[in-house]
Amino acid sequence: MVIASSCNRDEVITTQPAPEIIVEGDGVYSVMVGEEVRLAPDYRNAEGAAFEWVIDDEVVGTERAYIFMSEEIGEYYITLTVTTEAGSASEEMRVDVTAHDTPAVDIAMNDITVAVGYKQRITATLRKTEEECEVTWTINDEEVAKDVTSYDFEATEVGTYRIVATAANHHGKASDSVTITVVNAEDLNLIYEFDTTEYHTVAGRTLLIRPSHVNKSEGVTYNWTLDGEEQGAETNRAHYLFNSSEVGTHTLEVKATTYINEPIEVSHTFTIEVIEEGKYRRERTAASASVFSEVVEYMPAPGQFIGDMKTAGFTGEELTSDDAATYAEGRLRQNNWVSLGAFGGYIVVAFDHSVENNNGADIAITGNSFEGSSEPGVVWVMQDENGNGMADDTWYELAGSETGKGTTIQEYEVTYYRPTSSGMPVGWTDNNGGSGTVDYLASFHNQPSYYPTWVTNSSYTLRGTRLEARNYDRSGNGSLWVQPAYDWGYVDNASNRDCAEGVNSLDIDNAIDILGKPIKLEYIDFVKIQSAVQSKSGWVGELSTEVCNICEIVQ
């Protein structure tokens, strides 16, 4: 078989070089549904060549250029092979087919009822489009603002106000709305709710009894009684710090009072079981494993790898919390990373025995950090205090280098809102009056949304400890983002003190309680890792803690 052409002239033999394919840029093209894109690379040494374009093992073209078009959104991989007598060359190109360049808009906020004079910033999140969108705001069909993505609402009169944000370009328009009901301050109903009325703790430890929803910060009095005795210093707080050394069941009551022409009261009664220290400790046996035994819960914040089927290994069938935990456990069993998304996203694992608090580090957690790329996660630990095998006891944070600093925020809360359309950023608000987005990076990921598929509500809230962001653009032009490490005490953090080869070592002795005070835990049964920074690094996307494995350090 002839594999090269040559000639003999004056006894000098020359051989024709093999062909080369020169693809522009990175070989990735983007086109909208139903529109054509022409793939026409340059060639060297391709005289008399045969061309073959293949998609999914099917030959779709035999010309020097190929025109691609699809009516379905997705990623399409096209392999071009060029063959001459001198040999062959192949290159793979990718075409990302996206929806039409129509606008989409989302207001990251739920309907609320407020008092006259209350100020509320309303932010509209837009899908990125090639053609710039014009944004218009209306209240009860009257235009109030234009060409801004945020609107500051304040009503001086009672009533119902429907605020609509509309984004429009030549391809079409889209709207989203929120309704704000405004009442007189004295007519604002008191909402004072708790997730549960049954608690338990260990003798001598501090337990926080905290409402899940309170809508009034002024004009409310609170009265707490414990086992029938009024609690003096704790009175007139919406929350209660319980601590008792008496083993047994205690009854706690609270009465919240406000005035709407006449007194209105909301009351709750709680039972608190105080358990003896170490009662349900599970000793290590010869059969015990040092690696975690089960993923109890996986609840990420929105992020570019959430729902991603190409890189992150999602199947698209993660429709329940159990499905999500199964996905995460499967990844960790293979030492593959699991992304926790933006701030607050977390994963909870259990061990098949109680992990002892020995001298030095007790837990090893693998991430994928390296110098210049740290995305820190805070670690929490829990004892199975009531012995029911469930992670429904008290979480204790493991203190790190940022604990106690003025730049660190305890009890930070972020609410994420489901986008109204595919390909959109995920909007969020926090409990400090802040707001922002988790950006949609269409160049890298094309899942419809970064919002978890198994979260059925239109919004969900995550709470934890937030560290100050340290990421910055070293290049000055957005091309090189750096995410420096924190000194110690965090996961997915390339610390010089507690990280070796991507593994962070954590010490149970660093556990602190809700007041930030050290607490002695002789053992733990559950570990939670939670994304600790709310920030973005340009084209790299949101900072998101990644976890690859969690195990006990056996001494």
- Dump pLDDT digits (tens) for 318-342: 999 999 999 999 999 999 999 999 9
Same domain for 25 and 74 = yes
Residues 165 and 130 in one domain: yes
β strands within 10-158, DSSP E: 12-15, 20-22, 28-32, 36-39, 42-44, 50-55, 58-61, 66-69, 74-84, 87-98, 105-107, 112-115, 119-126, 134-139, 142-146, 150-154
Could you identify the residue written with the tokens 């660093």?
510
Closest CA to 358 of 497, 498, 509: 509
The CATH code of the domain that includes 93 is: 2.60.40.10
Per DSSP, helices labelled H in 334-414 are: none
Do 166 and 271 lie in one domain? The reply is no
The domain boundary residue, chosen from 63, 98, 133: 98
**Which two structure tokens, joined as six digits, stand for 454?**
């198994």
What's the pTM?
0.81
Statement: residue 10 has pLDDT above 80: no
Q: Give yes or no for residue 152 having a pLDDT over 80.
A: yes
Q: Is 221 helix (H, G, I), strand (E, B) or coil?
A: strand
Contact 272, 202 (CB under 8 A): no
Q: Would residue 86 count as lying in a domain?
A: yes
Q: Could you tell me if residue 288 is inside a domain?
A: no
Q: How far apart are CA 109 and CA 363, in angstroms?
A: 39
Reference 451, options 474, 420, 479; nearest CA is 420
In eight-state DSSP terms, residue 539 is G
Is residue 121 assigned to a domain? Answer: yes
pLDDT of residue 398: 98
Both 408 and 519 in one domain: the answer is yes
Report the number of distinct structural domains present in the chain. 4
**Each residue's pLDDT tens digit, 375-431:** 999 999 999 999 999 999 999 999 999 999 999 999 999 999 999 888 899 999 999
Amino acid at 41: P
- The yes-or-no verdict on residue 7 having pLDDT over 60 is no
Same domain, residue pair 169 and 25? no
Based on the domain organization, do 383 and 398 belong to the same domain?
Answer: yes
Residues 463, 530, single domain; the answer is yes
Q: Are residues 511 and 526 in the same domain?
A: yes
Tell me which of 186, 203, 234 is where a domain ends: 186
In this prediction, residue 234 carries a pLDDT of: 65
Q: Which residues pair with 349 in a beta bridge?
A: 295, 527
- Buried b / exposed e over 9-25, threshold 16 CB at 10 Å, is eeeeeeebebbebebee
CA–CA separation, 236 and 218 (whole Å) = 11
What domain range is 343 assigned to? 294-552
One domain for residues 260 and 355: no
Average pLDDT over all residues of the chain: 92
Please check whether residue 282 lies inside any domain of the structure.
no
In a domain, 154, yes or no: yes
pLDDT at 100: 65
Taking phi first (over 0 means left), then psi (-120 to 50 degrees means alpha), and beta for anything else, what does residue 263 get?
A: beta
At 481 the three-state DSSP class reads strand
Residue appearing with tokens 């979480």? 395
User: Do residue 431 and residue 545 come from a single domain?
Assistant: yes
Last residue of a domain, one of 247, 275, 303: 275
The 3-class SS string of 324-349 reads HHHHHHHHHHCCCCEECCCCCCEEEE
149, 216: one domain:
no
Lay out the sheet containing 28-32: strands in order across.
28-32, 87-98, 74-84, 50-55, 58-61
Q: What is d(CA 260, CA 511) in angstroms, rounded to the nearest whole number?
A: 44
Q: Which two tokens stand for residue 417?
A: 């809102």
Q: Is residue 546 part of a domain?
A: yes
* Torsion of the alpha carbons at 109, 115, 120 and 122, rounded to the nearest 10: 40
Which range among 280-289, 291-300, 440-449, 545-554 shows the weakest confidence by mean pLDDT? Answer: 440-449
Residues 545 and 432 in one domain: yes
Pairing of β 159-169 and β 134-139 = antiparallel
| Higher local confidence (pLDDT), 170 or 225 | 225
